[in-house]
Chain A
């Protein structure tokens, strides 16, 4: 634990306040969900845990590795499901992230927020999402604002689920040119942890 804390404190960090993959869903599943994904820029794994079985709020954490950039990121968020009707289910997300960039020493804070809508039923949904964030690098004191749109198709069969996800957007940097972002990913989810215990 002390070693992990040392990595977090001393590790070269910049904060990339991009929202999480796992919380970019309109529906908070009633049980604990573990998920792993592989995409065109990142791979990672994490979980979403409702406060109680079937609760309308929960916590999420995910560990991400961006293999082209060779950086690692830890994201955590609180998610609330705020509506559910016959047409769709909506959720809101508020969280933060911590980045590790191996050869640079910089610290930053990366809050992010998101709104999501799930269209569909218990088995198949199409999820739409908006994500925004603000990050500040303490070395440069230059804020950066990542803005993202997401769409995904998610299929759940029993204790397993698969998804195809697309995310695109820009990083807005005051006084600089924007940076375009885009990624596609496949995910595999498992909901059977509590049954297996």
Chain B
């Protein structure tokens, strides 16, 4: 081959694009999964797992669908939240879960905006093209991820926010009165990590429309795929994991449907969840 240096340079410069999946892997009936990569901060490469309504061959069901960006809790892998993303996708949502450095979203808050941008302005030719309604995007997070979710919501470009077993950062208190999008604070009554009193205090700072929904018998890590840490710390749940999951998703879906439809918190839907107390304003 003549001029090998030139060929090496051309290879380096060309064909080094990021992966743009056109179909996904079917992980559950009607739900596909694909992993994208996006650049942010100039050099950071962010893996973003996307769960979406899918056909049997992994192709997406035609959109546009509402979307959710989900932020992982501190030191909890994103895989542990895929159960929520699967349920949301089954209900017609496209969910993006960015992978944060060291599983600490607090140190890379903008990765959430990168995931939002992936849903709102996806790569041409990818399965996300035309799939998501950018005017119906919510952000959600668990534990420390809920702190970051609130920061992302305050930055803008999201129509609703869900805080699971968490509360806003005290440093953001001054901005909360100006946040007028619907918000849901979803808490477990037996949470030993994000104590209910702290969650309630944090919720008090949110402006209406907002709802605090407390799930009886539910602990902190039941929002993930396993309650191991709770049991190890002798924080024993009174609800089974399956029961907790069912009620968590019923609350989240009830809220999102209302929030993205008419900007309300969906109080009737929240009150219909078994074993909850709901406060709304």
- Is chain B a partner of chain A in the same complex? yes
Residues on A facing B (Cβ under 8 Å): 2-4, 6-7, 10-12, 14-16, 66, 68-71, 99, 101-104, 106, 108, 135, 137, 144, 170-171, 173, 176-180, 182
Residue B197 lies at the interface, judged by CB distance under 8 Å to chain A: no
Q: Within the assembled complex, what's the spacing in Å between the Cα atoms of A180 and B45?
A: 14
Would you give the 0/1 interface string for B3-37, flagging 1 where the beta carbon is closer than 8 Å to chain A? 00110110011001110000000000000000000
Instruction: Enumerate chain A residues within 8 angstroms of B107, measured Cβ to Cβ.
Output: 170, 178-180
- Smallest CB gap from B14: residue in A: A102
Residues of A within 8 A of B110 (CB): 173, 176-177, 179
The count of residues in chain B whose C-beta lies closer than 8 Å to any C-beta of chain A is 24
The residue from A2, A69, A144, A170 contacting B45, defined by CB atoms under 8 A apart: A69
A180 to B107, CA, bound (A): 5
B101 part of interface (Cβ distance < 8 Å)? yes
> In whole Å, how far is B258's beta carbon from the nearest beta carbon of chain A?
29
Whether A102 contacts B12 by the Cβ 8 Å rule is yes
Kindly supply a per-residue 1/0 record for chain B positions 41-76, scoring 1 wherever the CB is within 8 Å of any chain A CB and 0 otherwise.
111110000000000000000000000000000000
**What are 16 contact pairs spanning A and B, CB under 8 A?**
A10-B9, A15-B42, A69-B45, A99-B43, A102-B12, A102-B16, A102-B17, A103-B16, A103-B17, A103-B18, A103-B39, A173-B110, A177-B109, A177-B110, A178-B107, A179-B44
Contacts of A70 in B (CB 8 A): 45
Q: Point out the residues of chain A lying under 8 angstroms from B109, CB to CB.
A: 177
Asked if B246 lies at the interface with its beta carbon under 8 angstroms from chain A, I say: no
Q: Which residues of A lie under 8 Å from residue B151 when comparing CB positions?
A: 177
Tell me the dominant secondary structure on chain B's binding face.
mixed
Q: What's the least CB distance linking B147 to chain A, in Å?
A: 12
A180 and B42 contact, CB distance less than 8 A: no
The answer to the question of B104 belonging to the interface, with a C-beta cut-off of 8 Å to chain A, is yes
In the assembled complex, how far is the CB of residue A14 from the closest CB belonging to chain B, in whole angstroms? Answer: 4
Interface status of B231 (Cβ within 8 A of chain A): no
| A182-B44 CB under 8 A given contacts A103-B18, A177-B109 | no
B38 to chain A, nearest CB (A): 11
A71 close to B43 (CB less than 8 A): yes
Residues of B within 8 A of A16 (CB): 42-43
Q: Closest Cβ of chain B: how far from A169's Cβ, in Å? A: 11
On whether the beta carbons of A179 and B43 are closer than 8 Å, the reply is no
Closest partner residue, chain B, to A100 (CB atom): B12
Bound Cα distance A79, B230 (Å): 52
Given A177-B110, A177-B151, A182-B102, answer yes or no on A7-B13 (Cβ-Cβ < 8 Å).
yes
Closest to B18 in A: A103
Contact indicator A137/B42 (Cβ below 8 Å): yes
- Cβ of B6 and Cβ of A3 under 8 Å apart? yes
Interface string of B83-116 (1 = CB under 8 A from A): 0000000000000000001101011111000000
CB proximity of A4 to chain B, nearest CB, Å: 8
The 6 closest A-B pairs by CB, nearest first: A180-B107, A102-B16, A3-B5, A177-B109, A14-B42, A69-B45
Closest to B17 in A: A103
With a cutoff of 8 Å between Cβ atoms, the chain A residues found around residue B12 in the complex are: 7, 11, 102
Whether A179 contacts B6 by the Cβ 8 Å rule is no
Note all chain B residues with C-beta closer than 8 A to A66: 43
B44 to A, closest residue via Cβ: A69
